[in-house]
Structure 1
Amino acid sequence: MAIPILVLNGPNLNRLGKREPGIYGSTTLAEIGERCTAAGARLGLSVDFRQSNHEGVLVDWIHEAADAGVRGIALNAGAYTHTSVALHDAIRAVGLPVIELHLSNVHAREEFRHHSFIAPAAAGVIAGFGPMSYILALEALAAMLQPAQDS
């Protein structure tokens, strides 16, 4: 049976493919979602892929994930990475493994993007690999969760 995981996307990621292609590329969020679903199937994961521009919705989804039996979360919080104590607290509150991910290398960008409120609550961080960052996050979650499934 596939392990249920959640892939959450924050603000402005719905504009991928149109928004600053020099930074974020030309791949749309829908295309990334399709790649995640396919990679998840290969890795034994059932992927629920979502996006919201609203911080509270992301917090609600994190809370719901724990109650719905989701086993891990891949999170591209977008700009909320650098501002949201609420997302940090939600991650801590549910105790699920979370992989923070970014399309761009945030450490090679503006100074304000160098700090993450998510990272201290996350199991790991993947950044700078474009859409492949999502696949790498799924691979990390699968590696973390598979042994628990076998016991």
Structure 2
Amino acid sequence: MERVKPGLTKKLAHRWHGPFRIKRKVEEFAYELELPDKSGYRFYPIVHVSRLKEVNEYPSRPKTRLTFDFDEELLPEDSWEPDHLAGEYEVEAILDDRMPLSTSTERAVREFKVKWVGYEEPTWEPSSNLSCGGLLYDYLRAKKSERRLQMVQVADED
């Protein structure tokens, strides 16, 4: 795709990149750009507002975003229940975690000791096998706060 519009010089075309979407406002004069995955762009995605130029490719396109307001009473009862896939087990609790030693060919992957619903024995599973984002988040948050408490207690002892 040609980066320069017809009739314009290509002399400084290498100085312009984009167009990119703005991901978020970082500071008053800085924005983070949404770069395409696996792109050849080798620059930091946070740029100063003076380096940005508005692109108006589709002026006739409406600019307002629609907000969806669902009325909970109109939704079916089972709409709040997660869909369980066939062959997927339900996690009851996360009991512990460990980081096995890495080999020279393979990176170490954190494993979690998981108690499954309907089973007696817990198993060690990598995080990629787990589909319980909420339980995992709660476990990691509780573990982090527990570590902080231990650090404070150790500092108080000294």
- TM-score over 0.5 for the alignment? no
**Higher relative contact order, chain-length normalized (CA < 8 Å, sep 6+):** 1
The two structures have a TM-score, normalised by structure 1, of 0.23
Q: Greater helix percent: which structure?
A: 1
Larger of the two Rg values belongs to structure: 2
TM-score of the pair, normalised by structure 2: 0.22
